[in-house]
Amino acid sequence: MAKLTLFYTDGCHLCEQAYELVLRCVTSDAVIHKDIVDDPQLMAEYQTSIPVLKLTDSARALFWPFTEQDIKELLK
């Protein structure tokens, strides 16, 4: 199973919704969480677009809003 990285920040209700969608498609151990606050580069890149879901070893990513079907397509 492919690993996914979820870019988020604490207190982001959209990020919580995104994680719930992700868990409909993969198990929790397939998801890496990256808080963008911990990395200035990630903050600059994603601060206005989180949650972002990315295939860990790929440039392919989904920017919110995305659906369960979008996640399944990303995993193909």
For the stretch 44-69, what's the b/e string if a residue is b when 16 or more beta carbons lie within 10 angstroms of its beta carbon? eebeeebbbbbeeeeeebbeeebeee
pTM confidence score = 0.93
Domains assigned to the chain: 4-75 (3.40.30.10)
Strand ranges in the chain using DSSP code E only, listed in sequence order: 4-8, 31-35, 52-55, 61-63
- pLDDT, one tens digit per residue, over 25-69 is 999 999 999 999 999 999 999 999 999 999 999 999 999 999 999
Rounded Cα–Cα distance for residues 76 and 69 (Å) = 11
Spatial CA neighbour of 69 closest among 28, 21, 30: 21
pLDDT for 1:
65
